[in-house]
A and B are shown apart, each in its own frame.
Chain A
Amino acid sequence: MNVTAHTTAGNAYTFGFLDEYAKKEVRRAVLKAIAIPGYQVPYASREMPMGRGFGTGGLQLTLSLIGPDEVIKVIDQGSDDSVNAVNLRQFIEMMCPGVSTTTKTAECTLIQSRHRIPERPLTAAQIIVLQVPYPDPLVVVEPSEDKRKTMHGEADYSRLLVKLYEDLVTFDEITLSHRYPTRINGHYIIDPSPIPRWDVPKLNDSAALILLGAGREKKIYAVPPHTQATPLAFNDVPFRVEDFRDAAGRRRACARCGCMNSFLDEFVSDSGDKTYQCSDSDWCDEQLLQIERLRRKSA
């Protein structure tokens, strides 16, 4: 062990903030997570200089994977300009000199995201890191981690299915709105992080590697590229994404770019009127650019 190589003078911070042993441990956990799709790999999550719950798990993944020629995009709620996204991006810029940041999904090599997967399909050259508050979908039916571990090993998800069934009996609807339990590669069921149901189909057969990091709960798991991801449902009650139709049954459009096939944020004005806008801000900008290009061409 070459101790001096890893010790910096004074209290200066090294590239990527974490000490090299910590990065190595995270990378090992990532390899294991890819090898066992959907399995929650425990790791000794380090404390980061931002709060647990603000993306410390995702950040440890990002900082362990980042190289000096990386192009990073950080989003929160689909937006690059959300305060938490800005904060994380600034921290990455500070700790990883030379790394580029972008807001464009098409340009980045690594995306760290909270609560959304971009609308634009990701490519095999990209990795997306999702921040995870609750890594275990079974926590809604079983509080003990020890017991949940056994249930996962045995693929015993009966209580989760019973919960969905009870929802149907009580409300005539499955009430799970986000963090929708999704079976990976036919065995482990994961909590796909608090992405809306809208984003769950993007997990299936994804070209990009999807990594999920829970810093506080100290778990890393993965949906490797081109892996089957199936949201939990019944034969006669299919899985459904969020419904953006108005009372007349018409699909609502983004008030800014007019897009009719994106996840929408709902805004309420002072007068009580509702407007809808793309949640994915880069997608919205792209649509506007495209409209602009078409207009110029026809002019």
Chain B
Amino acid sequence: MSYVAIKGGGRAIAAAAAAAEYLRTAEGLLNTVAEPLAIDAILHQLRHLVDRVIAEGGVYHPQFAALAIKQSLGDTLEAAFVLRAWRSTRPRLAATPALDSSRMRLIRRISSAFKEIPGGQMLGPTPDYALRLLRLELMDESPEAFRAIARNWLQNYPEAQLPDTFPKVLDALRRESLLPPISPPHGATPFDITREPLVFPVPRSAVLATLARAETGSLLAIAYSNMRGYGDVHPTVAELRVGYLPVLLPHPVTGELTEVGEALITECEVVAMYEADNTSDKPTFTVGYGACFGHNEVKAISMAILDRALRKGMQNGPSNPSEDPEFVLLHVDGVDSMGFAAHYKMPHYVTFQSDMDRLRATQRKSEEPV
């Protein structure tokens, strides 16, 4: 029979949790018809929040991401953290082969390198050219009007005859030998950052996996330092695509690759200027690659720039923080960095006592006559 040691600290923690729960539900005091936030409403109406959390959480589980957002009151760091902690309890059961992103069911694809691209530019849902004016009419939106908008939109845009695949812009550049050919994989399985520790130097697959679930703001800040001048990638977005990628797994009986579902992802390929010290016969452009779960364009672009910057750093030695694999990869994880920042709130009585002992001893010495 087990027994349990409980004292005052436990009551304090329970009371703190109750106070937080009060804040989550306090709307009910003001509004007699207040409703709890529905998971579906978060999934659909706060979709970029969900996208961010599934990417940073590293789990494609939009429902649980929405739940995590709900219980953490919309704090993205906390929500991604909840999802990650849940992931720790799940074994890895299977791995997909490399998936072909030309097979994505696209909702958006653009290239800033060419005016026309095979398959065409497709702006899709983007706020890029929206005027950032407050839409005051949404302050008190009528549910009926809200429900009618999507229905009307679909009626005005009958199902188009969209092709199943769109060619990749990079393939065209490769055919013209402006890019190096794809080097065949060395037979090694991709590095799984959830099952192996990063011991430097790390393979590119470890770099990409770490960037893919990095905290968006951290990734952007380091990539931005490179864009501004602490680095020189000078990228051109060859292609940015957002859509649903078919996920294939070997069939448990036949072993044949079978589609088990699809995942919304964002993929970005940037082309950067050629390097003087290229080891190949003739100079070519270089490529940076970014991809992550969900619709997160700024993250995918930042990742592509950092991929390019880090490969330069690994080849020639880093000349900027954004080119240093240790600096970038060990500082972009949101769960790690937010946890450590938060831990400073915990008691440090013992270490501080020890600090005071040293300072007092040093002060005494400095007061002693020489």
Contacts and interface: CB of A to CB of B under 8 A. Distances in A.
A77 to B, nearest CB: 5
A67 interface: no
Contacts of A279: 349-350, 353
A232 interface: no
B306 to A, nearest CB: 18
Contacts of B197: 42-45, 218-219
Given A53-B343, A81-B9, A101 B350 contact: no
A3 B93 contact: yes
Contacts of B194: 44, 46
A87 B11 CA distance: 10
Contacts of B199: 42, 149
A87 B13 CA distance: 7
B157 interface: no
The 8 residue pairs across chains A and B that have the minimum distance between CB atoms: A53-B343, A52-B339, A51-B339, A86-B9, A42-B197, A46-B88, A177-B354, A47-B84
Contacts of B87: 47
Contacts of A22: 88
Interface in A42-89: 42-49, 51-54, 56, 76-78, 80-87, 89
A178 B10 contact: no
Interface in A135-174: 144-146, 149, 171-174
A171 B362 contact: yes
Contacts of A175: 358, 362
Interface string B316-352: 0000000000100010000111111111101111110
Nearest to B337: A52
Given A47-B81, A87-B9, A265-B353, 7 more contacts: A46-B88, A54-B342, A83-B12, A83-B346, A90-B10, A195-B350, A216-B336
A115 B351 contact: yes
A44 B238 CA distance: 35
Contact of A146 (B193, B200, B349): B200
A102 interface: yes
Given A52-B335, A101-B4, A6 B343 contact: no
A56 to B, nearest CB: 7
A145 to B, nearest CB: 6
A36 interface: no
11 contacts: A13-B89, A21-B92, A22-B88, A42-B199, A44-B194, A77-B350, A86-B12, A146-B326, A172-B362, A218-B198, A265-B349
Interface in A2-51: 3, 6-7, 11, 13-14, 17-22, 25, 42-49, 51
Contact of B91 (A19, A48, A242): A19
A132 to B, nearest CB: 12
A81 B7 contact: yes
Contacts of B361: 173, 243
B193 A196 contact: no
A77 B5 contact: no
Interface string A86-130: 110110010001111111000000000011100000000000000
A76 B326 contact: no
Contacts of A46: 88, 194
A56 B333 CA distance: 15
Contacts, number: 187
B153 interface: no
B7 A196 contact: no
Interface string B65-88: 000000000000000011011111
A197 interface: yes
B91 A177 contact: no
A192 interface: no
B195 interface: yes
B357 interface: yes
Contacts of A20: 91
Contact of B343 (A18, A54, A178, A218): A54
A231 interface: no
B37 interface: no
Size range of the interface on B?
35 or more
Nearest to A219: B197
Contacts of B198: 42, 218
A92 to B, nearest CB: 10
Contact of A49 (B10, B12, B85, B358): B85
A263 interface: yes
A23 B90 CA distance: 12
A112 to B, nearest CB: 13
Contacts of B201: 146
A44 B191 CA distance: 12
A43 B193 CA distance: 10
A56 B91 contact: no
B366 interface: yes
Contacts of B91: 3, 6-7, 19-21
B332 to A, nearest CB: 13
B358 A44 contact: no
B129 interface: no
Contact of A133 (B2, B340, B350): B340
A51 B6 CA distance: 22
Given A42-B199, A51-B339, A83-B13, A76 B347 contact: yes
A181 interface: no
B8 interface: yes
Contacts of B355: 177-178
Given A42-B197, A77-B347, A218-B198, A18 B13 contact: no
Nearest to A280: B350
A194 interface: yes
B349 A53 contact: no
Given A44-B193, A175-B358, A178-B355, A265 B350 contact: yes
Interface string B5-45: 11111101100000000000000000000000000000000
B342 A145 contact: no
Contacts of A178: 350-351, 354-355
A266 interface: yes
A229 B193 CA distance: 33
